[in-house]
């Protein structure tokens, strides 16, 4: 039997180049593939908020259920100076209050009006001992969460209400459809632009969300 003739070096190089090209084209096809169910699944927070900090968060679940949350979302910068906790938010004047006492995972602060007791639900690392996630009952009666990070950032979330809504993926447009606000009577559509989720609220506006870590409870 005559063995297979060796492939000329130039032909072999050409074949390898074609294989590589095909591989790149397949990779490009995958990277530009339309959004799938998995692309939408996750936890999202709205970027734009009202002057009072009210906004929306949502958890899109793979079982085609979605939790819509109404909550207060306020982001601060903090520092601890000589036993005082100083908070800064935007252009507002800094707020200063006594740090209080921290005993393990219990943080107690007092002022002239009331005593606030926070319970730590997740520890963090830092020099002040307050790093981590704390929770307490807000004066409105809603559950509040604060996350202090070592870089000086503080996130406050006051969870007011969660609603469960079904959602589906439209096969032709690759957008998601759900009735987030049944009082408006129309279907809301959501779509992805880069790493942001856009949701068109009928007779209102388009909300823009960013994907975040679900660091606070979604139901209380």
Q: What is the pTM of this model?
A: 0.76
Mean pLDDT to the nearest integer, 15-24: 42
Mean pLDDT over the full length of the chain: 82
Mean pLDDT to the nearest integer, 105-120: 89
Mean pLDDT to the nearest integer, 102-131: 89
Count of residues for the chain? 220
Distance of CA 97 to the CA centre of its chain: 29
Residue range 143-199, pLDDT digits in tens: 999 999 999 999 999 999 898 888 999 989 999 998 655 555 568 899 999 999 999
39 DSSP 8-state letter: H
Nearest partner of 139 among 160, 119, 122, 154, judged by Cα: 160
- The span from the CA of 164 to the CA of 166, in Å, is 7
Task: State both tokens at 63.
Answer: 């079982």
- pLDDT score, position 181: 56
Dihedral, CA of residue 10, residue 12, residue 14 and residue 20, to nearest 10: -150
Q: Which residue has the higher pLDDT, 179 or 46?
A: 46
- pLDDT score, position 183: 55
Given a cut of 70, is residue 3 above it in pLDDT?
Answer: no
Which band of pLDDT confidence, cut at 50, 70 and 90, is reported for residue 105? very high
Contact 199, 188 (CB under 8 A): yes
């Amino acid at each position: 039997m005559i063995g297979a003739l060796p492939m000329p070096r130039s032909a072999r190089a050409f074949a390898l180049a074609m294989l590589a090209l095909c591989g790149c084209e397949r990779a490009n096809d995958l990277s530009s593939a339309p959004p799938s169910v998995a692309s939408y699944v996750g936890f999202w927070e709205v970027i734009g908020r009202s002057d009072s900090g009210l906004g929306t968060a949502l958890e899109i679940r793979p079982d085609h259920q979605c939790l819509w949350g109404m909550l207060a979302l306020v982001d601060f910068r903090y520092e601890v100076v000589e036993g005082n906790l100083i908070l800064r938010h935007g252009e507002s004047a800094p707020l200063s209050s006594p740090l209080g006492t921290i005993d393990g995972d219990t943080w107690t602060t007092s002022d002239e009006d009331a005593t606030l007791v926070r319970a730590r639900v997740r520890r963090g690392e830092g020099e002040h001992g307050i790093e981590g996630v704390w929770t307490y009952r807000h004066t409105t009666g809603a559950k509040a969460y604060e996350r202090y990070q070592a870089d000086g950032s503080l996130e406050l979330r006051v969870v007011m209400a969660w609603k469960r809504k079904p959602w589906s993926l439209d096969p032709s447009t690759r957008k998601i459809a759900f009735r987030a606000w049944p009082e408006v009577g129309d279907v809301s559509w959501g779509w992805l632009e880069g790493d942001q989720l856009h949701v068109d609220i009928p007779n209102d506006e388009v909300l823009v969300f960013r994907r975040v870590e679900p660091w606070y409870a979604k139901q209380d």
